[in-house]
A and B are shown apart, each in its own frame.
Chain A
Amino acid sequence: MPTIYIDNKPYEVKAGKNLLEASLSLGFDLPYFCWHPAMGSVGACRQCAIKIFKDEKDTNGKIVMSCMESVKDGLRMSITDSTAQAFRAQIIEWLMTNHPHDCPVCDEGGSCHLQDMTVMTGHDYRRFQFKKRTHINQYLGPLIHHEMNRCIQCYRCVRFYRDYAGGDDLNVFGAHHHVYFGREKDGVLQSPFSGNLAEVCPTGVFTDKTLKKHYTRKWDLTAAPSVCHHCSLGCNIIAGERYGKVRCVVNRYNSSVNGYFLCDKGRYGYEFVNSVNRITEPLIRTLPVEAVDEATLMNHLKDLVTLYPLIGIGSPRASVESNFALMQLVGKENFYQGVSGDTAYLEGRMTDLLQQGTVHSVSLKEIESADAVLVLGEDIWHTAPVMALAVRQSVMKTAAAQATQQNSLAAWHDAAIKELVQEQKGFLANITILSSPLDSISTIAMRNNPDNIARLGFAIAHLLNAGIPAVTSLTEKEMHAAKHIADALLHAQRPVVITGNSCCNEALVKAAFNIVQSLSTPQRKAGISFVFPECNSMGAALMRASSFEAAAERVRTDNNCTAIVLENDLYRHVPAAKADAFLSQCKNLVVMDGLHNRTTEKAHVLIPAATFAEADGTLVNNEGRAQHFYQVFMPVNTHIKESWRWLGEMKTMQAKASNGLQQHPDEWLAKLEITLPQFASIAKVMPPRHFRINGQAIPREPHRYSGRTAMYANLGVSEPKPLQDDDSPLTYTMEGYAGIPPSSMIPYFWAPGWNSGQAVNKYQHEIGAALREENSGICLFASKTGALQFFKDSPEAFVPRPGKHLLLPQYQLFGSGEWSMYSEAISELVPEAAIILSKKDAADLGAVNGTLIIIEKNDFQYRLPLVIHDELCSGIVLASAGFHGMPALPWGSWVKLNV
């Protein structure tokens, strides 16, 4: 490791870094704007100026930008040099000449990097006495508020939006001191990663528009570390609350998962917690007055859970603890997954293959650093957006690595690398049903139907491994593509293959598995990633329970059951007729959920369940990584409780004693480990609830939290006792451990002098790497050696059936998903639900764009307007999936279409 001298003291630093990164990693405060740990250096803002010296004798030195100079052994630099300090203060004075100084009314105030850097440099007196330049702001859609006058022209927004995330509708316009960051004209930002602008912008130009509607300063938020519930990736988030409402969601850095960025669904999809559609009180619908108090409810439940045979329907969107609590209550053999047989089968298959341990399930971080990526069938842009962002980084980083091979350019030198790389791209093959924004960076972008995509996958596997039978009668184009892809994967060190279950096609999973298992050698770290539909699909699948159909069969033959449905709208998973039949055949139907839906309407007993914000729990993401989320706030409404708590109380009633029963998440996880060995070591996902640091719990509230004694003074003037959190080491106070907690328990990022989210620097040993004492989750799959088995059953080529179409789901980032729709901002962005047909199939039906098409299967009918898509294969029909109020369609089956 090179040694550098900072103000004459030697420090060992990591080679390949720039002086800014090295200084920040060492804990020095050095101000910056245009540099970003995930985006590198461009040298624009000139804020991070330091002095470097030729040698020990050089006392003059010269000013350089620390972000633009590499670490060199023996290098001498000064941060405290008075000329450098004066220059840094002058940069702020320049930036401030046109800044509106509107901090009191700016949403960024209190978490503003510009404020922090201003204080850091010591600039405090304004000498500029002329008028400020002003700009006109734009309407950028419902997610991002625009206030251009605050801009300090660091160019981070366009560098993130365009270069990092691949968007093209935000740009920089004009020149000199009139440069303008916005769109060509007012309009909704098109990138699904636009929300990150609020965090990337060092001041208040781009701010969270949903927060604006119920604004709270960062220091007034009660916050907790949480995990996004909107897809299977498990991005880490921090959610903040005040007055019983979730106010905002911001990124929580996890070096193995989401890094610095979130997608817009994850950032803005939180408002269901505040929805008027919440279930707020227990209802016993068989009573004349349905709303009951807790004693009546428990009394009633006592009979239901003790006098009748119990069955439990679990949920892919409920926590591991809640699913397990239900299993404990009803008994393992009476616990069913709350998904259809087809889904359960495919998810079980994917889970089995990962558990087998002969292929490596990759993290998002590993996808970012892959050097060749193959996507088979899954439309990750819509089903796993941050994975699409990671794939983009892989493509860019691979190109950069190739271009800089003969060049001594350091990895941080972003602009120079981009100039050298130009349009070169790393290898990405995106083989999907419909086009995707990823196509623009794909080496090979092909459209086909799932069977043929799987056949291509098998053909690739055959080229990599002669033991896998060849696929016959491929087209020349397919054969050529297979060769090209096999060759690219073979020449990669870290190839990754991605698929999932949104094509309802097992052969795709088999093909991906064959490829990755063939590629895996001691020298080559090949990886696989399966995308799952929901936040805890993997956790639920790992419980190895039977599917909904088995439960339906059970109540059909035994009509005396009490069924407990856990956080699950069955109508989203199975056809309505099946759900109706099941629900009507339950003797007693107990449903627990956060929001009203079609299933809760049918409940005999309805129990209000906590949402993620009011609950502790654990989710297992698509990778097999268990991550814990902590309660953000304790609801004032005491009827709302975590499902595992309700279920635990029922279990106590059932057992007539609480001895040895689980009451808290750590106890549930400990019990789970013993009961189901596939969850071994999951309890390490959180420290025991009594964990303390120096005897102190970790406060959810910053030390500047205001109004604790006054905020409820309109209701009562006595100060209430702080709420007690018995479930975790976090506490509902400002007091507690003031240092850096273990990474999975960081409720907010803050350090002295660093009020903005950029304080994350202070939580890392090395900038951009792992957090201090990082617990990035518990991976449940270990690699194992053993005889390698390959699938040899490549599917037959897809043959359209006369008069029928294969129905497949089409997911939309905004639109699909049960709860994100309750965010008004997101609901504004949802496209109209539609079905999609090829030109030929539409013509055969005599339909044009907009024609209402009826999907028919047996007694089932559903009607949607048509959109014609040239790329779609004949014989396939796609329909919007998972939209609000839409039933589950018979996905993966052949349907009849009528006009």
Chain B
Amino acid sequence: MERPLTKNIHAGRQPLSLKEYTTTGGYIALQQVLKNNTPQEVQQLVQKSNLKGRGGAGFNTGMKWSFVPMGADAPQPKYLIANADEMEPGTFKDRLLLEGNPHQLIEGMIIAAYAIQANISYVFLRWAYKKAARVLEQSIHEAYEAGWLGQNILGSGFSLNMHLHTGAGRYMCGEETALLNALEGKRATPRAKPPFPQVSGLFGKPTIVNNVETLCCVPHIVNNGAEWFQSLSYSEDSGTKIYGVSGKVNNPGAWELPIGVTMRELIEEHAGGMKKGYRLKGVLPGGASTDFLTEQHLDIKMDFKSVAAAGSRLGTGTMVVMDDATCPVGFVHNLQHFFAQESCGWCTPCREGLPWVEKILLSIEKGEGKQEDIDLLQMHTQLLGPGNTFCALAPGAMEPLQSAIKYFRDDFDRHIREQKCPY
């Protein structure tokens, strides 16, 4: 079982320096691309590898790149941005890559920038990732010193500057258009699409925003080919995925595994099963903004299509396990508190709806709920849907709520009936 992204990352060890990275085969992919491939060839290669965005949306990365205007008439400058604003609750996979092997990301970014002919790149990093910030700063510096960044890289005529930007700590910035606004120094509110960032992105210029994990796959695809990448997985999605498990399991953590491992394998083998005395009650398979799945779903494959078929989303692939000693109402209230607080305040349904939902859940949890509260919650889950709100934040927030009402309705009813939290 190959682990291309994490094979050189070891817990407790310092991140790979430039020297160490090159001795493990680093920057060979970049050299090859600059020497032998046109940007279009790189785009085609990545498109063919069927690499899908690891930030949660699961869109074909090469296809995303192909929407960028190319050629002499294309607007300049173009931008390549690594979305390292990992703020989805329960998610810590990008941190592993950032802190463990920063040059892998940098090399992936340079190749991606070459593929779209961008000359300026940014790493938009979550404010709290202080260690990653230090590591990246050092690594970018090293890459400049070695000539991997800067003017006329390896005499290829291609130039790229890279900047590290640490965010101010808003969940909203993970949304690519809000990220762009934040990067421009504006309020982190999302932008309307279309126009898409590929056409009018950062400072109004063509821009690609990719997730850290996505970009880290790129050098390996170049080195080993599209077929190899496809062959890594257990499903129609290509490559490996860094899966994570948190909650009351024996061995919480993150592991790089072929896409398509089952939820059961993840929880029972890699995470060591539930802690003694706890039973699994529900799972948020891909972070806080995905629908609950339950024990009956444990055998589904953790790939984009299978999780969607089960009624949830693969999302970031980092699951949160809810046990039977945790109150689902309190659990969901905690999530809604987060989402309400992280709403940017731009559109009405999200700004006003989420705090209402949060307050209702709190009152139910405190034993002050009324039967009609369930109707109000359900009304919100329906009306805060995609298209009704400006961006995907509120629809994402509604996913755990709607599925909690579906799977744990008894718990809600008991809170209201008994006018207290039974947990």
The residues of B that contact A97 with a CB separation of less than 8 Å are: 352, 355-356
- Judge whether A422 and B348 touch: CB under 8 Å: no
Cα–Cα distance between A413 and B379 once the two chains are bound (Å): 30
Cα–Cα distance between A856 and B169 once the two chains are bound (Å): 63
- Judge whether B352 and A415 touch: CB under 8 Å: no
- Judge whether A63 and B387 touch: CB under 8 Å: yes
Q: Which of A49, A128, A152, A175 contacts B356 (CB 8 A)?
A: A128
- Judge whether B195 and A90 touch: CB under 8 Å: no
The residues of A that contact B372 with a CB separation of less than 8 Å are: 127
Name the residue on A nearest B170 (C-beta).
A175
Question: Does B146 have its Cβ within 8 Å of any Cβ on chain A?
Answer: no
Question: Does B351 have its Cβ within 8 Å of any Cβ on chain A?
Answer: yes
- Judge whether B387 and A172 touch: CB under 8 Å: no
Question: Does B192 have its Cβ within 8 Å of any Cβ on chain A?
Answer: yes
Min C-beta distance of A93 to chain B, whole Å:
9
The residues of A that contact B345 with a CB separation of less than 8 Å are: 153, 174-179
- List the interface of chain A (C-beta within 8 A of B): 42-47, 49, 62-64, 68, 87, 90-91, 94-95, 97-98, 127-128, 130, 152-153, 155, 172, 174-179, 403, 407, 409, 413, 415-416, 419-422
- Which of the candidate stretches B110-118, B197-205, B272-280 sits at the interface with the other chain? B197-205
- Judge whether A416 and B359 touch: CB under 8 Å: no
Question: A407 with B200: in contact, given A153-B345, A175-B344 (CB under 8 Å)?
Answer: yes
Question: A44 with B348: in contact, given A97-B356, A177-B340, A415-B192 (CB under 8 Å)?
Answer: yes
- Judge whether B355 and A176 touch: CB under 8 Å: yes
Cα–Cα distance between A64 and B342 once the two chains are bound (Å): 24
Question: A177 with B195: in contact, given A46-B388, A49-B388, A128-B356 (CB under 8 Å)?
Answer: no
The residues of A that contact B356 with a CB separation of less than 8 Å are: 94, 97, 128, 130
- Judge whether B199 and A407 touch: CB under 8 Å: yes
Cα–Cα distance between A128 and B363 once the two chains are bound (Å): 12
- Judge whether B349 and A94 touch: CB under 8 Å: yes
Min C-beta distance of B178 to chain A, whole Å:
11
- Judge whether B352 and A403 touch: CB under 8 Å: no
Min C-beta distance of B174 to chain A, whole Å:
15
Question: Does B191 have its Cβ within 8 Å of any Cβ on chain A?
Answer: yes
- Judge whether B351 and A403 touch: CB under 8 Å: no
Cβ contacts A to B, 24 pairs, < 8 Å: A43-B347, A44-B348, A46-B390, A49-B388, A63-B387, A87-B388, A90-B349, A90-B383, A91-B348, A95-B352, A97-B355, A127-B372, A153-B348, A174-B345, A176-B340, A176-B342, A176-B344, A176-B351, A407-B199, A407-B200, A419-B191, A419-B195, A420-B195, A422-B204
Cα–Cα distance between A128 and B352 once the two chains are bound (Å): 11
The residues of B that contact A95 with a CB separation of less than 8 Å are: 348, 352
- Judge whether A179 and B191 touch: CB under 8 Å: no
Min C-beta distance of B104 to chain A, whole Å:
32
Question: Does B228 have its Cβ within 8 Å of any Cβ on chain A?
Answer: no
Helix, strand, loop or mixed for chain B's interface? helix
Min C-beta distance of B100 to chain A, whole Å:
32
Q: Which of A94, A127, A415 contacts B348 (CB 8 A)?
A: A94
The residues of A that contact B191 with a CB separation of less than 8 Å are: 415-416, 419
Q: What is the 8 Å Cβ interface bit string for chain B, positions 303-345, against chain A (1 contact, 0 not)? A: 0000000000000000000000000000000000000111111
The residues of B that contact A47 with a CB separation of less than 8 Å are: 348
Question: A421 with B204: in contact, given A43-B390, A177-B340, A415-B191 (CB under 8 Å)?
Answer: yes
Most chain A C-beta atoms within 10 Å of own C-beta, residue among B195, B340, B352 = B352
The residues of B that contact A64 with a CB separation of less than 8 Å are: 387
Question: Does B17 have its Cβ within 8 Å of any Cβ on chain A?
Answer: no
Name the residue on B nearest A158 (C-beta).
B187
Question: A177 with B352: in contact, given A43-B390, A416-B195 (CB under 8 Å)?
Answer: yes
- Judge whether B195 and A46 touch: CB under 8 Å: no
Cα–Cα distance between A62 and B387 once the two chains are bound (Å): 8
The residues of A that contact B40 with a CB separation of less than 8 Å are: none
Min C-beta distance of B272 to chain A, whole Å:
38
The residues of B that contact A419 with a CB separation of less than 8 Å are: 191, 195, 200, 204
Question: Does B4 have its Cβ within 8 Å of any Cβ on chain A?
Answer: no
Min C-beta distance of B255 to chain A, whole Å:
35
Give the A-B pair count, Cβ closer than 8 A.
102
The residues of B that contact A87 with a CB separation of less than 8 Å are: 383, 388
Min C-beta distance of A244 to chain B, whole Å:
43
Most chain B C-beta atoms within 10 Å of own C-beta, residue among A91, A94, A127, A415 = A94
Question: Does B57 have its Cβ within 8 Å of any Cβ on chain A?
Answer: no
Min C-beta distance of B367 to chain A, whole Å:
15
Q: Which of B204, B343, B363 contacts A176 (CB 8 A)?
A: B343
Name the residue on A nearest B172 (C-beta).
A175
Question: Does B423 have its Cβ within 8 Å of any Cβ on chain A?
Answer: no
Q: Which of B199, B200, B359, B383 contacts A130 (CB 8 A)?
A: B359
- Judge whether B204 and A46 touch: CB under 8 Å: no
Q: Which of B194, B200, B389 contacts A46 (CB 8 A)?
A: B389
Q: What is the 8 Å Cβ interface bit string for chain B, positions 110-148, against chain A (1 contact, 0 not)? A: 000000000000000000000000000000000000000
Question: Does B346 have its Cβ within 8 Å of any Cβ on chain A?
Answer: yes
- Judge whether B192 and A420 touch: CB under 8 Å: no
The residues of B that contact A130 with a CB separation of less than 8 Å are: 356, 359, 363
Min C-beta distance of B402 to chain A, whole Å:
17
- Judge whether A153 and B351 touch: CB under 8 Å: yes
Cα–Cα distance between A419 and B189 once the two chains are bound (Å): 12
- Judge whether A422 and B351 touch: CB under 8 Å: no
Cα–Cα distance between A42 and B341 once the two chains are bound (Å): 22
CB under 8 Å from chain A, chain B span 370-390:
372, 376, 379, 383, 387-390
- Judge whether A413 and B340 touch: CB under 8 Å: no
The residues of B that contact A98 with a CB separation of less than 8 Å are: 352
Cα–Cα distance between A570 and B269 once the two chains are bound (Å): 97
The residues of A that contact B388 with a CB separation of less than 8 Å are: 46, 49, 63, 87
Min C-beta distance of B310 to chain A, whole Å:
24
Min C-beta distance of A580 to chain B, whole Å:
60
Min C-beta distance of B172 to chain A, whole Å:
8
- Judge whether A409 and B204 touch: CB under 8 Å: no
- Judge whether B343 and A175 touch: CB under 8 Å: yes
Min C-beta distance of B59 to chain A, whole Å:
20
Cα–Cα distance between A153 and B344 once the two chains are bound (Å): 12
Cα–Cα distance between A46 and B340 once the two chains are bound (Å): 18
Min C-beta distance of A577 to chain B, whole Å:
58
Question: Does B353 have its Cβ within 8 Å of any Cβ on chain A?
Answer: yes
The residues of B that contact A42 with a CB separation of less than 8 Å are: 192
- Judge whether B341 and A176 touch: CB under 8 Å: yes
Min C-beta distance of A379 to chain B, whole Å:
32
Min C-beta distance of A403 to chain B, whole Å:
7
Cα–Cα distance between A98 and B376 once the two chains are bound (Å): 17
CB under 8 Å from chain A, chain B span 169-224:
170, 172, 187, 191-192, 194-195, 199-200, 203-204
- Judge whether A127 and B341 touch: CB under 8 Å: no
Cα–Cα distance between A172 and B351 once the two chains are bound (Å): 14
12 other A-B residue contacts (CB within 8 Å) besides A176-B345, A419-B200, A420-B204: A44-B348, A49-B388, A63-B387, A87-B383, A87-B388, A90-B379, A94-B356, A97-B352, A176-B351, A415-B191, A419-B191, A420-B195
Name the residue on B nearest A130 (C-beta).
B359
Q: Which of A44, A63, A407 contacts B346 (CB 8 A)?
A: A44
Name the residue on B nearest A175 (C-beta).
B345
The residues of B that contact A409 with a CB separation of less than 8 Å are: 195
The residues of B that contact A416 with a CB separation of less than 8 Å are: 191-192, 194-195, 200
- Judge whether A46 and B348 touch: CB under 8 Å: yes
CB under 8 Å from chain A, chain B span 216-256:
none
The residues of B that contact A178 with a CB separation of less than 8 Å are: 345
The residues of A that contact B379 with a CB separation of less than 8 Å are: 90
The residues of A that contact B343 with a CB separation of less than 8 Å are: 175-177
Min C-beta distance of A127 to chain B, whole Å:
6
Cα–Cα distance between A90 and B194 once the two chains are bound (Å): 26
The residues of A that contact B194 with a CB separation of less than 8 Å are: 416
- Judge whether B346 and A94 touch: CB under 8 Å: no
- Judge whether B349 and A91 touch: CB under 8 Å: yes
Min C-beta distance of B173 to chain A, whole Å:
12
The residues of A that contact B204 with a CB separation of less than 8 Å are: 403, 419-422
The residues of B that contact A44 with a CB separation of less than 8 Å are: 346-348, 390
Please name the 8 residue pairs, one residue from A and one from B, whose CB atoms are nearest each other, closest first: A94-B352, A179-B345, A176-B343, A420-B204, A422-B204, A130-B359, A420-B200, A175-B345
